[in-house]
Amino acid sequence: MPYTIDRIVNGDVPGVVERTIAALKSEGFGVLTDIDITATLKTKLGVEFRPYRILGACNPPFAHRALTAERKIGAMLPCNVIVQEAGAGQVEVSAIDPGIGMQLVGNAEVNAIAAEVAEKLKRAIARI
């Protein structure tokens, strides 16, 4: 079962990260974290790794609704979006499909919120 919303676009990782942040913003998301996996693996392990970034995206009204509906849901927030080199001048953008993970919670209200968030993420990814 696919657990991400994916798109491959032309460009380089830094440029696509900027486009991704703008697309997320257009759907009401802010980026709380930006983890440079390439730099982290180089620093911590001394290994080379393809350009790879993890953006922690949050839509505050939806986060508030989810946190109100389920006390421990914060363990599953924010929505992670990865931007990674795919080769030949292409970059892959993948966002977690919140509907998949939230099914584990077993809360119908959270599932409904997750479905709305998934639609927003799909629209954002399509804009990149």
pLDDT digit string (tens) for the chain, length 128 residues: 789 999 999 999 999 999 999 999 999 999 999 999 999 999 999 999 999 999 999 999 999 999 999 999 999 999 999 999 999 999 999 999 999 989 889 999 999 999 999 999 999 999 99
Q: Is the pTM of this model over 0.75?
A: yes
Q: HSE (CB half, 13 Å, CA atoms) of 112?
A: 6
Return the structure tokens found at 124. Answer: 């954002």
CA–CA separation, 32 and 19 (whole Å):
16
Burial letters for 37-48: b for 16+ Cβ neighbours within 10 Å, e otherwise? Answer: ebeeeeeeeeee
- Domain 4-127: what homologous superfamily? TT1751-like domain (3.30.310.70)
pLDDT computed for residue 1 by the predictor: 76
